[in-house]
């Protein structure tokens, strides 16, 4: 069996899965329940606004809203729909006779099929998988494929139209102009009420302050002390720069940034208290030496859950250029410097999940390929085809190298079907297609160059809010008279 050219249907692998579903998934449902009747990860038919009858949904979270008698709310993701449709439902909106658990197919002699779809044949195989819905022993389809699955039936088109109509009712800002781009927002954002009555709001490219007319913006920008985000520049290479902004120091900027982000993120809560966060803002440097915002991610100063990223956004005009991945790569670079394992805060947006999956697979592939003598070309790895190569997956090493949390690694391996359980532990097995994709990504996508990071983990500044404000004002004055050094 070759490590590289693996056949997933090979019958010489019997029990093969990274993680079997938890034991509790096989519990029977008892008539009197003090626990929620459905657990996260289970599926059930659920009511959906604007649709007659039920739609298959996966329960993502459960919360208890009443103790006696116990009452629960279920946060559901409709499996064939955009994440924007996710919602909390009461038990009465769920058809309890249709509960499905994730479980292994007991009689299968073949390799475990959880998540073994390859990206190349997802379309046809997804349809087959969905056609099995309704059986109790369903095979769960990796979430990433569900997210990108599009159905063009008239019902779906109608639903999407309705979804768009609802969105536009909820959207309160008609248009924004930022750095020469006119952008139509996607979601509601709590900008001051008078601004919801003007046809367009104008944002300062650097401090992100907002104005009702172009003339107001112009007169502001003449006086604006910034030429890019405030804070410290911690990375710059090939016209791309990162600034680290302390939410406790530059609170005005951080709030403006959160408001802007809310226009494009449905799930995000805009925190007026930005003090607990750092904001890492990615900018393109323009010819005239100004720094224009492309996107950002925020990070809690102290995260009990090992989150290394709270919120991530690439502005619409910069999407599909690999910046999302670039931000993610940068967040892990910071974790590597901190020598801490990190994970993004959940739930992720649909675009966020796709970018993460792609990055995690890339990082795993890079780790595996580091075991082999190759010159960076696919050809130099082809010699492994046909050889018996077993790579024992050393999780501690993989985690230390990538700083990706174990559950994210396991989840990725399961989704892409690249892990197998062998006598000596989990093995990772890549297909030639995946290796080719890795090299293509390595060559075509923009990557963070660790050599250009000028950063050490900051000490959170607490209780220095007022004095830091004075320092901030001095810094603004220095920027205005040209004596400020961003590298300081």
> Which contiguous run of DSSP H or E holds residue 472?
helix 465-480
- In whole angstroms, how close is the CB of 304 to Zn ion at the nearest point? 35
55 half-sphere exposure, CB direction, 13 A CA radius: 21
d(CA 58, CA 36): 14
Binding-site size for Zn ion (CB under 5 A) equals: 4
18 binds Zn ion (CB under 5 A): no
- In whole angstroms, how close is the CB of 278 to Zn ion at the nearest point? 21
**Residue 363 bridge partners (DSSP):** none
Whose Cβ is closer to Zn ion: residue 204's or residue 478's?
204
* CA-to-CA dists, residue 377 to 199, 317, 391, angstroms: 53, 33, 20
d(CA 126, CA 211): 48
Do the beta carbons of residue 381 and residue 372 sit within 8 Å? Answer: yes
Applying the rule CB under 5 A, the residues between 440 and 479 that interact with Zn ion are: none
- In whole angstroms, how close is the CB of 166 to Zn ion at the nearest point? 34
Whose Cβ is closer to Zn ion: residue 224's or residue 410's?
224
- In whole angstroms, how close is the CB of 228 to Zn ion at the nearest point? 10
Whose Cβ is closer to Zn ion: residue 87's or residue 286's?
286
Whose Cβ is closer to Zn ion: residue 224's or residue 446's?
224
β-strands 181-183, 176-178 pairing = antiparallel
Closest CA to 55 of 141, 147, 145, 156: 156
* CA 96 from centroid of its chain's CA atoms: 31
d(CA 108, CA 480): 70
β-strands 307-309, 419-422 pairing = unpaired
Closest CA to 347 of 295, 378, 312, 383: 312
- In whole angstroms, how close is the CB of 261 to Zn ion at the nearest point? 17
Burial of 253 (0-12, 13-18, 19+ CB in 10 A): buried
Interface map 190-219 toward Zn ion (x if CB under 5 A): --------------x-xx------------
With a CB cutoff of 8 Å and minimum separation 6, the contacts of 225 are 207, 476, 477, 479, 480
Do the beta carbons of residue 354 and residue 147 sit within 8 Å? Answer: yes
- In whole angstroms, how close is the CB of 208 to Zn ion at the nearest point? 7
- In whole angstroms, how close is the CB of 253 to Zn ion at the nearest point? 9
- In whole angstroms, how close is the CB of 279 to Zn ion at the nearest point? 16
Applying the rule CB under 5 A, the residues between 54 and 93 that interact with Zn ion are: none
Burial of 432 (0-12, 13-18, 19+ CB in 10 A): middle
Closest CA to 259 of 267, 270, 248: 270
71 is known as an active-site residue? no
Phi, psi of 411 (to 5 degrees): -60, -45
Whose Cβ is closer to Zn ion: residue 216's or residue 446's?
216
Whose Cβ is closer to Zn ion: residue 147's or residue 250's?
250
Do the beta carbons of residue 170 and residue 187 sit within 8 Å? Answer: yes
Whose Cβ is closer to Zn ion: residue 42's or residue 279's?
279
Interface map 219-258 toward Zn ion (x if CB under 5 A): -----x----------------------------------
Whose Cβ is closer to Zn ion: residue 288's or residue 375's?
288
DSSP string, 9-36: T-TT--S--SSPPPGGGGPPPPSS-SS-
> Which contiguous run of DSSP H or E holds residue 182?
strand 181-183
Q: Which of 345, 400, 407, 488 is catalytic?
A: 345
Q: Summarize as ranges the residues that interact with Zn ion (CB under 5 A).
A: 204, 206-207, 224
Catalytic site positions: 345
């Amino acid at each position: 069996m070759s490590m590289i050219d693996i056949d997933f249907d090979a019958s010489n692998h019997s029990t093969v899965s990274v993680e079997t579903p938890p034991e509790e998934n096989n519990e029977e449902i008892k008539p009197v329940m003090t626990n929620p009747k459905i657990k996260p990860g289970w599926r059930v038919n659920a009511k959906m606004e604007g649709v007659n009858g039920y739609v298959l949904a996966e329960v993502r979270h459960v919360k208890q809203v009443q103790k006696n008698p116990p009452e629960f709310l279920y946060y559901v993701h409709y499996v064939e729909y955009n994440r924007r449709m996710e919602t909390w439902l009461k038990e009465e909106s769920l058809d309890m006779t249709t509960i499905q658990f994730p479980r292994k197919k007991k009689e299968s002699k073949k390799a475990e099929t959880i998540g073994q779809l390859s990206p190349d044949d997802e379309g046809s195989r997804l349809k087959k998988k969905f056609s099995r819905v309704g059986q109790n022993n369903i095979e769960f389809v990796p979430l990433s494929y569900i997210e990108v699955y599009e159905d063009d039936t008239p019902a779906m088109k109608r639903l999407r139209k309705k979804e768009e109509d609802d969105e536009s009712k909820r959207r309160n800002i008609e248009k924004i102009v930022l750095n020469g781009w006119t952008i139509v927002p996607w979601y509601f954002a709590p900008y001051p009420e008078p601004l919801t009555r003007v046809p367009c709001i104008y944002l300062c490219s650097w401090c992100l302050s907002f104005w009702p007319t172009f003339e107001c913006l112009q007169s502001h920008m003449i006086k604006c002390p910034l030429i890019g985000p405030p804070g410290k520049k911690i990375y710059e290479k090939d016209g791309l720069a990162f600034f680290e902004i302390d939410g406790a120091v530059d609170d005005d900027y951080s709030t403006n940034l959160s408001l802007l982000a809310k226009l494009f993120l449905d799930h995000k809560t805009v925190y007026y208290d930005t003090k607990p966060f750092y904001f890492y803002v990615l900018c393109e440097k323009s010819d005239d030496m100004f720094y224009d915002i492309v996107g950002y991610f925020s990070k809690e100063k102290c995260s009990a859950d090992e989150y290394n990223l709270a919120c991530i956004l690439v502005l619409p005009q910069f999407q599909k250029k690999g910046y999302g991945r670039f931000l993610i790569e940068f967040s892990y670079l910071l974790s590597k410097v901190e020598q801490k394992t990190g994970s993004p805060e959940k739930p992720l947006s649909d675009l966020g999940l796709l970018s993460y999956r792609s990055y995690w697979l890339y990082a795993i592939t890079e780790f595996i390929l580091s075991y082999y003598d190759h010159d960076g070309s696919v050809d130099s790895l082809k010699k492994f085809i046909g050889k018996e190569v077993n790579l024992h997956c050393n999780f501690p090493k993989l985690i230390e190298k990538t700083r990706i949390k174990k559950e994210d690694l396991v989840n990725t391996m399961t989704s892409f079907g690249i892990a197998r359980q062998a006598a000596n532990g989990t093995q990772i097995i890549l297909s030639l297609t995946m290796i080719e994709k890795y090299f293509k990504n390595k060559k075509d996508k923009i990557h963070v160059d660790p050599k250009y990071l000028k950063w050490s983990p900051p000490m959170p500044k607490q209780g220095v809010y007022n004095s830091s404000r004075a320092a901030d004002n001095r810094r603004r004055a220095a920027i205005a008279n040209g004596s400020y050094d961003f590298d300081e």
